[in-house]
């Protein structure tokens, strides 16, 4: 019997930031998640994001928890290569955002080199960060009624009294507190589509910069109950720059030309079987005991024993038998004096939630020594925790005349090993 180590959808948020803009290189972020079955939530087959939180959600943990958000700092920022002109006609010449909000697929593979793979899908669901001005917003505007409210000057910078650096369509507000200072402001927008979100400056901005850039991702994983235990790895690379996956327009150029998300998914399944005390010694008897045979000479119809066990399982497994005295397909027991041997048929009944690979409940499914391997593989539809199953041992009726003869004592015995194996 072996214990093993085991995917569906979780969402996260990322923060991108870097101290300087250098020559185009490649930025990488590491994202880790794990699946461990939870006895208190047997039907919740989801990965848990183990990536340490940082950035926006480190500053506003309660808000992010309520919204199901997650933030992570990564090394990218954007710097303008030309001034943003007042009232520019070309939306690509100002503050523009376009992110890959469509689902992208990547293949994850076993890190130990085993041939198993799975498919994961990712999409970007938010964009945000902090823009930094070359001077205060008040000085850039340079007109209008004086105000000590920094938000007022940033609002005027971007087109008037009704504009608050709110997300232009198709971007949407995520809510939560933002921060405003004389020379910078934070933002955090949802990106339901891959369309362009562009803001028009009301005044000339000589230089412009984004740091602490935030993106959010949503991840679809396979059902972890259909994955084997172990570590799965995979990378998804996005292009960054004008006209690329992450496109901030023609003015804003990135410090890195690609962003690679490097995923590590750890699957830790449970397979545990408990046999009650004394359950390792199985005594085969007729229905009602031996009295009819001993007192009246009535041969039993069959010999049998049902042996209960408890099983906890969260993934696929197979069952096999090993024999001290092997038959063609089954194990045998033998009388050491007469050397007579008979076959013992063994079958299994598994609790609800465990089926064969075709989804059929397992009721008195025969276990054999060799052959029909696919028929002896099973799967968990949900995490089954310490539920009862039954091993059915039986010597069929055709062996009764052979085994039992009046006045002749016999003692049939043999070892049968039942194996629950997670490695299939």
CATH code at position 399: 2.60.40
263, 277: one domain? no
pLDDT at 216: 81
Write the DSSP symbol of residue 279.
T
The pLDDT tens digits of the residues spanning 301-359 come to 899 999 999 999 999 999 999 999 999 899 999 999 999 999 999 999 999 999 999 99
50, 192: one domain? yes
Closest CA to 218 of 129, 99, 110: 99
Is 2 contained in some domain? no
76, 178: one domain? yes
251, 304: one domain? no
Of 267, 293, 325, which residue sits at a domain end?
A: 267
Give the least confident one: 39-43, 99-103, 394-398: 39-43
Give the least confident one: 81-90, 281-290, 356-365: 281-290
Q: Contact at 8 Å (CB) between 197 and 228?
A: no
Is 33 contained in some domain? yes
Write the DSSP symbol of residue 168.
P
303, 249: one domain? no
Domain that holds residue 304: 271-421
34, 20: one domain? yes
80, 29: one domain? yes
pLDDT at 155: 86
216, 278: one domain? no
The pLDDT tens digits of the residues spanning 361-410 come to 999 999 988 766 777 899 999 999 999 999 999 999 999 988 887 778 88
381, 249: one domain? no
The pLDDT tens digits of the residues spanning 203-233 come to 999 999 999 988 888 888 888 988 889 999 9
Is 3 contained in some domain? no
Is 1 contained in some domain? no
112, 241: one domain? yes
Q: What secondary structure, in 3-state letters, does 212-276 show?
A: EEEEEEEEECCCHHHCCCEEEEEEEEEEECCCCCEECCCCEEECCCEEEEEEEEEECCCEEEECC
Question: What dihedral angle (degrees, nearest 10) is formed by the CA atoms of 112, 117, 123, 127?
Answer: 10
Of 267, 295, 327, which residue sits at a domain end?
A: 267
252, 331: one domain? no
Closest CA to 254 of 66, 77, 114, 407: 77
Structural domain count, the chain: 2
Q: Contact at 8 Å (CB) between 116 and 228?
A: yes
Arithmetic mean of pLDDT, 107-112: 96
261, 275: one domain? no
Indicate if the pLDDT at residue 260 is higher than 50.
yes
Question: What's this model's pTM, rounded to 2 decimal places?
Answer: 0.77
Is 143 contained in some domain? yes
Specify the higher pLDDT residue, 370 or 89: 89
Average pLDDT of every residue of the chain? 86
Arithmetic mean of pLDDT, 153-161: 79
Of 219, 236, 267, which residue sits at a domain end?
A: 267
Is 101 contained in some domain? yes
């Amino acid at each position: 019997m072996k214990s093993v180590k085991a995917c569906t959808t979780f969402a996260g948020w990322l923060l991108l930031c870097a101290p300087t803009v250098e020559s185009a290189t490649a930025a990488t972020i590491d994202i880790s998640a794990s699946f461990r079955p939870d006895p208190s939530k047997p039907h919740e087959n989801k990965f848990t994001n183990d990536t340490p939180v940082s950035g926006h959600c480190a500053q506003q943990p309660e808000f992010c928890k309520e919204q199901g958000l997650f933030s992570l700092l990564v090394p990218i920022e954007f710097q303008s290569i030309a001034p943003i002109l007042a009232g520019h006609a070309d939306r690509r010449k100002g503050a523009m955002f376009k992110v890959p909000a469509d689902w992208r697929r990547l293949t994850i593979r076993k890190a130990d080199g085993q041939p198993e793979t799975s498919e994961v899908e990712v999409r970007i669901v938010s964009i945000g960060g902090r823009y930094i001005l070359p001077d205060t917003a008040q000085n850039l505007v340079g007109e209008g009624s004086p105000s000590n409210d920094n938000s007022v000057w940033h609002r005027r910078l971007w087109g008037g009294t009704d504009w608050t650096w709110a997300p232009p369509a198709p971007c949407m507000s995520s809510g939560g507190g933002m921060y405003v200072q004389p020379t910078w402001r934070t933002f955090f927008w949802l990106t339901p589509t891959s369309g362009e979100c562009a803001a028009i400056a009301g005044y000339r901005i000589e230089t412009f910069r984004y740091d602490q850039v935030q993106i959010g991702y949503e991840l679809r994983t396979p059902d972890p109950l259909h994955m084997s235990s172990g570590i799965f790895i995979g990378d998804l690379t996005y292009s960054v720059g004008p006209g690329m996956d992450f496109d901030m327009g023609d003015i804003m150029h990135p410090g890195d030309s690609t962003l690679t998300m490097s995923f590590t998914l750890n699957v830790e399944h449970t397979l545990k079987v408990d046999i009650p005390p004394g359950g390792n010694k199985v005594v085969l008897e007729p229905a009602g005991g031996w009295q009819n045979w001993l007192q009246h000479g009535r041969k039993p119809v069959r010999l049998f024993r049902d042996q209960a066990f408890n099983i906890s399982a969260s993934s696929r497994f197979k069952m096999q038998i090993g024999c001290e005295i092997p038959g063609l397909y089954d194990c045998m027991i033998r009388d050491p004096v007469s050397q007579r041997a008979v076959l013992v048929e063994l079958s299994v009944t598994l609790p609800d939630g465990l089926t064969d690979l075709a989804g059929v409940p397992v009721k008195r499914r025969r276990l054999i020594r060799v052959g029909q391997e696919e028929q002896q593989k099973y799967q968990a539809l949900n995490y089954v925790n310490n539920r009862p199953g039954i091993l059915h041992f039986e010597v069929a009726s055709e062996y009764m005349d052979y085994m039992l003869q009046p006045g002749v004592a016999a003692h049939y015995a043999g070892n049968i090993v039942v194996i629950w194996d997670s490695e299939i």
